[in-house]
Amino acid sequence: MTTTPSPLTSLRRAITLSETAPRAIASESASKANGNASHNTYLTLTATESLHRAEQLPKIFADAKNRPPLYGIPISIKDCFDLAGTTTSCGSRYYAQLNPRATKNSWVAQRLLEAGAIIPGKTHLHQLAYGITGENADYGNCVQPRDATLLTGGSSSGAAASVQEGSALAAIGTDTGGSVRVPAALCGLTGYRASLGVSRGEERWAGAFHLAPSFDTLGLLFRDLRDGPALAHAIYNIPTVPTPTQLRIGYVGDDFTHDCEPEVLTAFAAWKQHLTHHGSTLTPIDTAFWADSLEIFSTIQASEAAQIHRGRYQHFEPAIAERLTWGASITPTQLETLHRRLDIFRSQISSLFQQVDLLLVPCAPVNKLLAGKDQSHIRKAILRYTTPASLGGLPTVTLAGEAIGAPFGTGMQLIAAPMQDGALLAFAASLLNPPH
């Protein structure tokens, strides 16, 4: 619980009152960039361009009373989105050399600039955005700025690091199987994974690189739940709606969370209690049909990724090349069967949302990934928690454990029905206010 203004509110107010200026903000952002021990929060820094743009902002948006919502706010973007004048690496040195410099901005980058934001650079990611740990053989493993012994999680690894180190107030990420939710959870941040419907369409992926189009969504990482509605509205045009009340929230039972570490279970219990205090009714849900989710997700994902990167597998890390090779071997008949199973799964998810308004699920069974340790086993364990929302195309907010005094790194997924993004963000934002 807090009565202090949120980070976005505080910075906006300071700009309005002329207590700071965009150039000072851009300069401070640049001074904090790549502040982690691995010095790889960003794969491309744009400090010079950011300072120049910051100096120009008062002229670009001369009417002080009608400045756009992110005027002077530093927001990083994942290096799978084009930014004019830079090369998009997708976390791969092969693509960094192959891809030409972008001549125009991706849709996401252009939205940020039109909203007045400053873009400090393009952030680290797992190769091809195809991983969950934040490890990268080409650019080094991304460790947390606050603790060099811990990986950030991935694939939006640098996005999380940029917010944690303070070089960005918020970060643009992507989420296919958990790539926003997991780094947000492990780094003590808030994450927002947009509904698949919000992220669909050629326009929103213009100048961006897909991993698996059936599941790829856009997202955000930031510090404070209260900033979610304003950020999502400014960037993704998510409607700002009244806060829903007296919600029915379904939570996964012990049969699902059997592999959770004690810290995660402590946070899970704390969030259930917190939600009850905020007037929600909590009931356990039957997740037996989720047992199929990892197989359906991983196989379709591998097949789609294999098509995108066909003929180039040898240029990537062995584990990723192996997944791509497997993906290429999946037959049309197998895919047809999997898509039928996906349709059934989505129908079952719809039935679940007839009974409850939201779902509460841990983001991961662990609260930390130690740098330098073998993490090859963890991908499957984490994806069991994240892929149900991915298959359903569901909007999700990551609730940081620290927000209510629970152990660090113990983020929870608060999941809504498709296209209920505005209501989800509004409700999540209300959770930091004292209960009525």
CB atoms within 10 A of CB 27: 14
Start-to-end Cα distance in the chain: 13
Whether 368 is catalytic is: no
Per the structure block, which two tokens stand in for 232?
């999502």
DSSP string, 73-125: -BEEEETTB--TTS---TT-HHHHHHSPPPSS--HHHHHHHHTT-B--EEE--
Sheet of strand 396-399, all strands in order from the earlier edge strand to the far edge: 42-45, 121-123, 75-78, 170-175, 217-222, 190-193, 396-399, 412-416, 358-362, 248-251, 281-284
pLDDT of amino acid 280: 98
Q: What's the pLDDT at 2?
A: 57
Q: What is the pLDDT of residue 434?
A: 79
- Which one is catalytic: 29, 76, 179, 280? 179
The Cα–Cα gap between 359 and 299 comes to 25
| Nearest in space to 315 (alpha carbons), one of 165, 128, 85 | 128
Q: Is-contact 230 69, C-beta < 8 A? A: yes
Q: In 3D, which of 52, 252, 35 has the Cα closest to residue 143?
A: 35
Q: What CA–CA distance (Å, rounded) separates 264 from 254?
A: 12
In whole angstroms, give the CA distance from residue 116 to residue 61.
8
Residue 112 CA to residue 129 CA, distance in Å, equals 21
Q: Encode 222-234: b = buried (16+ Cβ within 10 Å), e = exposed.
A: bbbbbbbbbbbbb
What is the identity of the amino acid at 139? Y
Residue 59 annotated in active site: no
What are φ and ψ of residue 415, in 5° steps?
A: -115, 135
Q: Which helix (H) or strand (E) holds 173?
A: strand 170-175
The span from the CA of 94 to the CA of 315, in Å, is 6
Catalytic site residue from 6, 38, 155, 195 = 155
In the numeric block, the tokens 């900033």 are attached to: 227
- Could you read off the pLDDT tens digit of each residue along the chain, which spans 436 residues? 557 999 999 999 999 999 999 999 999 999 999 999 999 999 999 999 999 999 999 999 999 999 999 999 999 999 999 999 999 999 999 999 999 999 999 999 999 999 999 999 999 999 999 999 999 999 999 999 999 999 999 999 999 999 999 999 999 999 999 999 999 999 999 999 999 999 887 789 999 999 999 999 999 999 999 999 999 999 999 999 999 999 999 999 999 999 999 999 999 999 999 999 999 999 999 999 999 999 999 999 999 999 999 999 999 999 999 999 999 999 999 999 999 999 999 999 999 999 999 999 999 999 999 999 999 999 999 999 999 999 999 999 999 999 999 999 999 999 999 999 999 999 999 999 877 6
Amino acid at 31: S
215 within 8 A of 297, measured Cβ to Cβ: yes
CA dihedral (389, 172, 181, 159) in degrees, to 10, reads 160
Taking the CB of residue 350, how many other CB atoms lie within 10 A of it?
12
In the three-class reduction of DSSP (H, G, I as helix; E, B as strand; rest coil), residue 371 is classed as: coil
Q: Which residues of 236-253 are buried (b: 16+ CB within 10 A; e: fewer)?
A: bebeebeebeebebbbbe
The closest alpha carbon to 430, from 266, 253, 265, 243, belongs to: 243
6 is catalytic: no
Q: Are 195 and 70 in contact (CB under 8 A)?
A: no
Indicate which residue of 78, 157, 303, 390 is catalytic.
78
Query: How far is residue 162 from each of residues 158, 171, 174, 329, 351, measured CA to CA in Å?
Result: 6, 7, 15, 38, 39
Which string of DSSP letters, residue by residue, matches 261-328? -HHHHHHHHHHHHHHHHTT-EEEE---GGGGGHHHHHHHHHHHHHHHHTTT-GGGS-HHHHHHHHHHH
Tens of pLDDT, residue by residue over 12-55, are: 999 999 999 999 999 999 999 999 999 999 999 999 999 999 99
- Measured CA distances, 100 to 146, 159, 174, 343 (Å): 35, 23, 22, 39
Asked if residues 150 and 130 have their Cβ atoms less than 8 Å apart, the reply is no
Interval 167-204: pLDDT, tens:
999 999 999 999 999 999 999 999 999 999 998 877 89
CB 126 within 8 A of CB 173: no
Find, among 388, 394, 392, 391, the residue nearest to 362 by Cα: 388
Amino acid 199: pLDDT:
84
Report residue 204 CA to chain centroid gap. Answer: 16
